[in-house]
Structure 1
């Protein structure tokens, strides 16, 4: 994985060097900048390389293929060897053993449809001299980022927004983006924190015509949210087919010319990845993170799984001092406001894992495809309440709302919604923001409404589809990409293989979620390799002790950044209500850590660009 950059703007060599330097943590092995003169303007491509395949300098980028094809590419094409074999039979020649060259040859053979042949995580741009255009694409599920600025014949793109922002004079903070951040905790595609910079959505390609400045976007892939492809086999058939798919997805992601390991939390998904990987190679290296706070220490479970599988396991201990340093610099790596606090342990895990390996497999996306989140179980409870006539529901929600419990208050608030769809949205965005923030007037789930508001599937499949298009892309994939690339570490998730996602979407709900047994099919596959007894515990998230830190080691930092003057710099908030949340938190009267962290991240980001 790497950092890519390109533009039609003629900044000059010093500025190009500065822009690539800003994101060189994404690829420290080689930085390349190349300009190509056209009769209309000069095109410049830049690349920060993290060498994974074909470590030789011949695969450095920007890379030029035959017939005037130039490329900058971030990511991996896992099936490149199969594609390469087909292209060789069709007369294409290769001088490297990289997947970069395969993309170029596939483009010449298949044109814009080449992306349909790729199984991988990627963001790339090809400059086609003959056609005088850029052709670019982003992978199906949004694992690799792609930002771009377009204004007529001015076009600029990069893996991270900071490379575009540097020396750019025409950018303004987007009020809509801040509103979305306050609701979601991240900024959903296609918007960015700047009004003039956009994100290419997952599963999309584009063409940019240099002479005219014309930009066209094309969706080449989507999930089957209409429910047209339903698996017809038995549960046993599904288990067998899914295990074959996952085994192949793991094997493909273990191809590398550098050391490789696995993130092992001790949960279902990462344990299954580790188990399947251990079948095909000796002594896999595994890594987990441990906090010096017992309430959030899940490392013992990972150690038990590692012991059973016989992996070379490493437990990374996290303390306050190291966490504080990352907290105060998170905006440098995330480039946009991003408030998922599990970014901190993710950064720490990546930092120390990099000391041992350059590639790490993860279990990300198992929850979305196989109905693993707690909130899916909550929706099964809510569904029962929605069978009660609407005029009777207040008799239940009223008493529940009076109970001094966060969970009961959330459930009561959710059940006031008109439909299960509305209830899920309210659950996802939280029921308390409206007390301290002016809710946005725009549609907060557009352009993703079609994945939830229809009757083609049951509520569980609809919310799973919706999460795949929103939370997985905007939160999980963003968190993992920025955390790992901050330390030049490549993360690969077999559950993000589009074949696995499509198969998961085709399965009957009961194969995934039956009688409170979430991720049923994954568990049954896992228990073939690891004893069931190791997983008889509640599901735990990748959390950290922010609530405690905000009252102790980080208290001064919070009160300084979110002082009255500091809060005035954050648009749209009720300062008095925010101050009440902070005071109650410090006095142990309530847990306001979620709100405090969200505002700290935004404040830090605004500080960094002023």
Structure 2
């Protein structure tokens, strides 16, 4: 796990400013405190910060092939590198190290752009081939590792593992992209491939980019996408057995390390599955880390303790006060662009705890998307059955009217909160699911924005992000479609972003067995009935784990990794959130209606409504503007843009 950065002159062989690249590398020191170096040659600079995991003594980067004509900087892990080495050696390649990084340069020489098809892992890398005058960029299939880039007006291609690296370049644009503001207030993050800054991009997951000097800037090329075929002919019993074997292989690959290794253990199904599998593969006790809260309604440590006791893990628990909001400002600096998942706070804390014991930690991230674990999936399937009973032409006017007149009743028992259900019934499947996951619904966002900003958006709606992905999903199965949407948006833009920044802030590598692409592909071939049955999500995973985990861990209600925002904003953060929402930073941006911001505070703090989620979203946007110095004023499009 590392940080990479650099520059490439797409037009000529101009000298790269060494001071700028040095700052780009230094600002990512936290991603790789074990070493750092930069390779310069005319028109090219490749910088690297190293967190040593594999071949601690010899795997330094930038790393070269035998004659020095190919050089790579790499962030991540190639888990199957030991399998590729003999094949490449048989083809005549000579290895000077025992690192997975060296596999990349020889695989490029052997297979060219198709080398990424052979890699099983999490990665973002940039490779320069002097003989071919080619810069090759790749990102892993599920976007575990980040990659940011921009093409500046002078033809300089600038890249880094984090936005803060790119922002060291004085010509980097800081103008906010209005459509990305709309996407952020819907989803709580800026989805791929854009960033909050106009002209600064993220390389899409499962994509490569091949640049050749003097040629037009290319479009990225997709080399992988998950396909929900649902066509596997397999019994439930055989599927359980195969899942157990595949999970064991995925975990085994991710336990290769020359430094201390452990796991996060939340007490949920996914992390417990990973720990149970690790215990079966290790002759030593697994080191496990859990984060507890002093508020029982947010605390899962008793379930983590059940698993830790069963497998005699070396278990560490840290209890965080439920008023642990000291990280609010730190998060804005950590994520570089607006990011509103409040579970970033406990994630930061559990990474901080883990780093005191290990350098590598395995997590259970990705299980909900592939196994069908979110509660919202079951609600969506119920609504889909209702939508199937009536055509959209009947549903839209009927339930649209009911949804508009039925009162919003956050305080009422769940069966009486029918407004959201009526609104969902008036929509098609994609729009309904988008509405379900949105932090601020369409009407709320429109009210939040100033009149001038609404005009600047020119009718753009963040729903288009989901429409674009749905058009490529290749399935009309109700569950598979929303699993695909989450895999392309929430998993990459929210979860992977959260874990990467929180872990790298503490120089901790986090590995993700449930996001192994071969496992994900296999699960996508299984019928949806093996994932959700009735009111039970993750059905197959739970059945497979029954011999290994306590019933109370497998079948208890899902809790989630949350913090008590509603209470914070009526108590210890009452004045702070009001100052942010009604202060000069948001007012001067010209993006928001100040009366609506004040009303959010008044209604929440009086107890009339729970506006904690939208208030947190606005608060984190204010912190971003205040810390990053972004320019929210409308401007003409950039003359040259990587978009």
The interval holding the TM-score normalised by the smaller chain is over 0.9
Local SS of the residue matching 2:56: coil
**TM-score between both structures, scaled by the size of structure 2:** 0.89
- Find 1:562's aligned residue among 553, 576, 581: 581
d(CA) in 2 for partners of 1:521, 1:355: 35
- Find 2:430's aligned residue among 414, 417, 421: 421
- Counterpart in 2 of 1:6? 6
- Counterpart in 2 of 1:248? 249
Deviation at 1:450, TM superposition (A): 5.3
Q: Could you tell me whether the CA contact under 8 Å between 1:400 and 1:412 is conserved in 2?
A: no
- Counterpart in 1 of 2:187? 184
**TM-score between both structures, scaled by the size of structure 1:** 0.94
* Mapping of residues 317-328 of structure 1, within 5 Å: 317-319=319-321, 323-328=324-329
Change in CA separation of 1:18 and 1:456 when aligned onto 2, cut-off 3 Å:
closer
- Find 1:206's aligned residue among 206, 209, 212: 209
- Find 1:437's aligned residue among 448, 451, 465: 448
Deviation at 1:17, TM superposition (A): 2.3
- Counterpart in 2 of 1:470? 489
Deviation at 1:607, TM superposition (A): 1.0
Change in CA separation of 1:581 and 1:395 when aligned onto 2, cut-off 3 Å:
closer
Change in CA separation of 1:555 and 1:27 when aligned onto 2, cut-off 3 Å:
same
d(CA) in 1 for partners of 2:387, 2:464: 25
- Counterpart in 1 of 2:226? 223
Local SS of the residue matching 1:328: helix
Deviation at 1:547, TM superposition (A): 2.0
Q: Could you tell me whether the CA contact under 8 Å between 1:208 and 1:216 is conserved in 2?
A: no
Local SS of the residue matching 1:94: coil
Q: Could you tell me whether the CA contact under 8 Å between 2:400 and 2:423 is conserved in 1?
A: no
Deviation at 1:444, TM superposition (A): 2.3
- Find 1:550's aligned residue among 569, 572, 576: 569
d(CA) in 2 for partners of 1:189, 1:403: 34
Deviation at 1:498, TM superposition (A): 0.3
Residue deviations 1:209-261 (CA, integer Å, cap 9, x gap)? 12335334210001114x3x621111111111111111000000000111011
- Counterpart in 2 of 1:117? 118
Q: CA RMSD in A?
A: 2.1
d(CA) in 2 for partners of 1:191, 1:394: 33
* Mapping of residues 136-535 of structure 1, within 5 Å: 136-151=137-152, 153-171=155-173, 172-212=175-215, 214-225=217-228, 227=229, 230-281=231-282, 282-319=284-321, 323-389=324-390, 390=394, 393=399, 397=403, 401=407, 403=409, 405=411, 408-409=417-418, 411-430=420-439, 432=441, 434-435=443-444, 436-438=447-449, 440=457, 441-446=459-464, 448-449=466-467, 451-452=469-470, 456-535=475-554
Residue deviations 1:71-127 (CA, integer Å, cap 9, x gap)? 100000000000112111211111111000001111100000000000000000000
d(CA) in 2 for partners of 1:197, 1:64: 29
Q: Could you tell me whether the CA contact under 8 Å between 2:16 and 2:40 is conserved in 1?
A: no
Change in CA separation of 1:410 and 1:496 when aligned onto 2, cut-off 3 Å:
farther
The answer to which of 443-452 and 112-121 deviates more is 443-452
d(CA) in 1 for partners of 2:442, 2:461: 16
d(CA) in 1 for partners of 2:167, 2:238: 51
d(CA) in 1 for partners of 2:583, 2:56: 53
Would you say 1:603 and 2:622 are equivalent positions?
A: yes
- Counterpart in 1 of 2:639? none
d(CA) in 2 for partners of 1:606, 1:418: 34
Which blocks of at least 5 consecutive residues in structure 1 are unaligned?
Answer: none
Deviation at 1:368, TM superposition (A): 0.4
